[in-house]
């Protein structure tokens, strides 16, 4: 912890600190305490972990209370009969309660801690001339993902040209055992023309039959096969198994009061999972017929034609309306494009080869 504060006060950035800790083999918090962090990989330091440490006043030797609160929230706002569940939420720093006296060993002085907060706040202020203040538009912001790591690519301007970038330190790639360049770049302007051509071709009236059939067959990926749905149902099955074990323990002479508490907790977990599943089920449309898809494709054909003459802001909105998701493979220098016209209606293809 001392090293993190020292490096930060000496000018190192949060990302640089995370990289150096990973490179030097220092265990990240989730690796040092696996019992409380089984849901995390524990393979590398994350920027968020470094930031949390820098902003935690406990390292000044003072105790801190009221950093979190418990809120009672409805399991399902559309079915209040399901009741409430307790959720832990973070309070803002101004609501924290900090002890007056030092109660444990201090790793950093109060003065240095306050200086670190000032530095952090200063770095967070937007500088004049950044893309958000110049009115620059990224046509595909949030839609392009890096294929090796699956993360959304950042959108910087470099020498007045829009790029999409994924920065992934070698230490992280080694820790996660994936082949990933330190920096992946993709120019926006070399991607737009092939992307528009693919969309225009896919929704061209001459290709209607092929496109309709492709979208119709894609509906075979039902909601039951969706990974999120499968995970929720798996968790519900695990809850059922636990309840069955508790019942068996009760039948074998276990303490009814203790077992009732266990059962009540698991039933609340199951109700929460069931509410999430119901919400997903409610958003999924019924399987479309070929004629319904053909009508949709006919409408989208007009949108695809409008791409060529649309101004940048309108063009970005059209891409979003088409549900575009692009995945860039830096090794192959290819982009895989997918349009999602609903949770289980999609059309996929390849664009941008050789970019």
* DSSP string covering 22-34: HHTTPPPHHHHTG
Q: Are residues 168 and 199 in the same domain?
A: yes
Reduce the DSSP state of residue 11 to 3 states and report it. coil
List per-residue pLDDT tens for the chain, 355 residues long: 788 988 888 888 888 888 888 878 888 887 777 666 565 556 678 788 888 888 888 888 888 777 777 777 665 545 556 666 677 777 777 777 787 788 788 888 888 888 888 888 876 544 433 444 456 788 888 889 988 888 888 888 888 888 999 887 776 666 667 788 888 899 998 888 888 888 877 777 667 777 777 767 766 554 445 667 777 778 888 888 888 888 888 888 888 888 888 888 888 888 888 777 776 655 444 566 677 767 766 666 666 666 777 788 888 887 887 778 899 998 888 999 887 665 444 455 555 443 3
Q: Are residues 208 and 331 in the same domain?
A: yes
Token code pair at residue 266: 């698991």
3-class SS shares of the chain: helix, strand, coil, % to 5:
50, 20, 30
Q: Would you say 328 and 164 are in contact if contact means Cβ atoms under 8 Å apart?
A: yes
Q: Are residues 45 and 119 in the same domain?
A: yes
Q: Are residues 32 and 112 in the same domain?
A: yes
Q: Are residues 322 and 267 in the same domain?
A: no
How many Å apart are CA 92 and CA 294, to the nearest integer?
A: 51
pTM of the model: 0.47
How many Å apart are CA 347 and CA 212, to the nearest integer?
A: 9
The number of distinct structural domains making up the chain is 4
What pLDDT, on the 0 to 100 scale, is given for residue 305?
65
What pLDDT, on the 0 to 100 scale, is given for residue 32?
72
Q: Are residues 318 and 212 in the same domain?
A: yes
Instruction: Name the H helices within the chain.
Output: 2-9, 14-23, 29-32, 47-54, 110-124, 131-134, 170-176, 189-202, 208-218, 227-251, 256-283, 290-306, 312-321
Phi, psi of 341 (to 5 degrees): -100, 20
**Residue range(s) defining the domain that contains residue 278:** 223-283
Q: Are residues 208 and 321 in the same domain?
A: yes
What pLDDT, on the 0 to 100 scale, is given for residue 327?
92
How many Å apart are CA 162 and CA 75, to the nearest integer?
A: 43
Q: Are residues 161 and 213 in the same domain?
A: yes
Q: Are residues 144 and 198 in the same domain?
A: yes
Q: Are residues 204 and 324 in the same domain?
A: yes
> 62, 61, 59: which is closest to 8 by C-alpha?
59
Of 268, 283, 298, the last residue of a domain is 283
Q: Are residues 17 and 76 in the same domain?
A: no
Token code pair at residue 188: 């926006």
Q: Are residues 301 and 170 in the same domain?
A: yes
How many Å apart are CA 50 and CA 56, to the nearest integer?
A: 10
């Amino acid at each position: 912890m001392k090293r993190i504060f020292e490096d930060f006060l000496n000018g190192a950035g949060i990302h640089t600190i995370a990289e150096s800790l990973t490179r030097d083999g220092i265990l990240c918090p989730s690796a040092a305490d696996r019992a409380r962090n089984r849901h995390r990989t524990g393979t590398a330091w994350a920027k968020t972990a470094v930031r949390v440490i820098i902003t935690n006043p406990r390292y000044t030797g003072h105790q801190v209370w009221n950093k979190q609160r418990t809120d009672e929230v409805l399991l399902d706002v559309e079915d209040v009969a399901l009741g409430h569940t307790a959720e832990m939420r973070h309070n803002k720093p101004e609501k924290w309660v900090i002890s007056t006296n030092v109660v444990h060993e201090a790793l950093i002085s109060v003065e240095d801690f306050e200086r670190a907060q000032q530095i952090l706040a200063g770095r967070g202020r937007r500088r004049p001339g950044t893309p958000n203040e110049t009115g620059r538009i990224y046509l595909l912001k949030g839609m392009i993902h890096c294929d090796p790591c699956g993360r959304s690519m950042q959108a910087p301007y470099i020498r007045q040209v829009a790029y999409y970038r994924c920065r992934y330190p070698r230490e992280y790639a080694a820790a996660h055992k994936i082949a990933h360049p330190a920096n992946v770049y993709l120019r926006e302007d070399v991607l737009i023309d092939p992307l528009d051509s693919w969309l225009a071709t896919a929704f061209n009236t001459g290709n209607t039959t092929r496109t309709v059939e492709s979208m119709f067959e894609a509906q075979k990926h039902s909601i039951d096969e969706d990974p999120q749905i499968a995970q929720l149902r798996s968790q519900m099955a695990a809850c059922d198994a636990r309840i069955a074990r508790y019942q068996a323990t009760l039948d074998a002479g276990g303490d009814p009061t203790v077992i009732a508490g266990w059962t009540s907790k698991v039933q609340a977990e199951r109700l929460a999972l069931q509410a999430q599943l119901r919400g997903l089920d409610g958003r999924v449309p019924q399987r479309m017929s070929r004629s319904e898809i053909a009508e949709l494709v006919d409408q989208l054909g007009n949108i695809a034609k409008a791409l060529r003459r649309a101004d940048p802001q309108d063009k970005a909105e059209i891409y979003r309306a088409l549900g575009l998701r692009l995945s860039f493979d830096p090794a192959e220098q290819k982009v895989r494009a997918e349009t999602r016209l609903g949770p289980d209606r999609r059309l996929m293809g390849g664009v941008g080869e050789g970019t």
